[in-house]
A and B are shown apart, each in its own frame.
Chain A
Amino acid sequence: SQQGEEDPQALSIQEGENATMNCSYKTSINNLQWYRQNSGRGLVHLILIRSNEREKHSGRLRVTLDTSKKSSSLLITASRAADTASYFCATASFGNTGFQKLVFGTGTRLLVSP
């Protein structure tokens, strides 16, 4: 399995600071996606970056992708207490059938203190 692995497993910061999470994976991908999960809830899609893109922004989120290193990072700037959640990367490959299949990592738990 080409499961993504997030680093660090847990991150604790103060409001206003930036949070950086990293994701590494093993095989070639078509795109990489980041999701957020609040405690005990479903996942919410944050951002998708295609394999031919290097950087993408969405509000306070910045995602980079380095396919040569098989790694991605998610930066949350000026963090807020409401950003407290678990963050997952998911690698997408299309496979022989052409259907997109996501493989999720184990996540980074982010705690933002007021």
Chain B
Amino acid sequence: DVKVTQSSRYLVKRTGEKVFLECVQDMDHENMFWYRQDPGLGLRLIYFSYDVKMKEKGDIPEGYSVSREKKERFSLILESASTNQTSMYLCASSLLPQGHYEQYFGPGTRLTVT
């Protein structure tokens, strides 16, 4: 079975802290994504990666960076957390960047920045 795991289900951080959200997939997928989900706004794409060390900005990359050193792992970094980054963060992967493929999601990390 396809599996995407995220390092934490719940996380509480203080304003200004550096925050790392980790995502691991065990399906040898090329493509990985980070979304944030907010009430009334749906899912919005922050960054995606189509290969190791490759990344592309999504719709809302400001305040975030990413790292993909290994194919199975995609990290989202909040360099200096702010209260407006309080949200649910969802990681996903798909088999290839091109073509008609579904995405497989992790369980999500609910981040609160105080």
Contacts and interface: CB of A to CB of B under 8 A. Distances in A.
Interface string A8-46: 000000000000000000000011010100001111110
A101 interface: yes
Interface stretch (B63-71, B76-84, B100-108): B100-108
B90 interface: yes
A48 B100 contact: yes
A50 interface: yes
B106 A42 contact: yes
A102 interface: yes
Interface string A77-111: 00000000000101010100111111111110000
A88 B42 contact: yes
Given A41-B108, A42-B108, A43-B90, A100 B42 contact: no
A5 B4 CA distance: 27
The interface residues of chain B, by DSSP majority, are classed as strand
Interface residues of B, number: 31
Contacts of B110: 40
Interface of A: 1, 3, 30-31, 33, 35, 40-45, 48, 50, 88, 90, 92, 94, 97-107
Interface of B: 4, 31, 35, 40-45, 48, 50, 56, 58-59, 88, 90, 92, 94, 97-108, 110
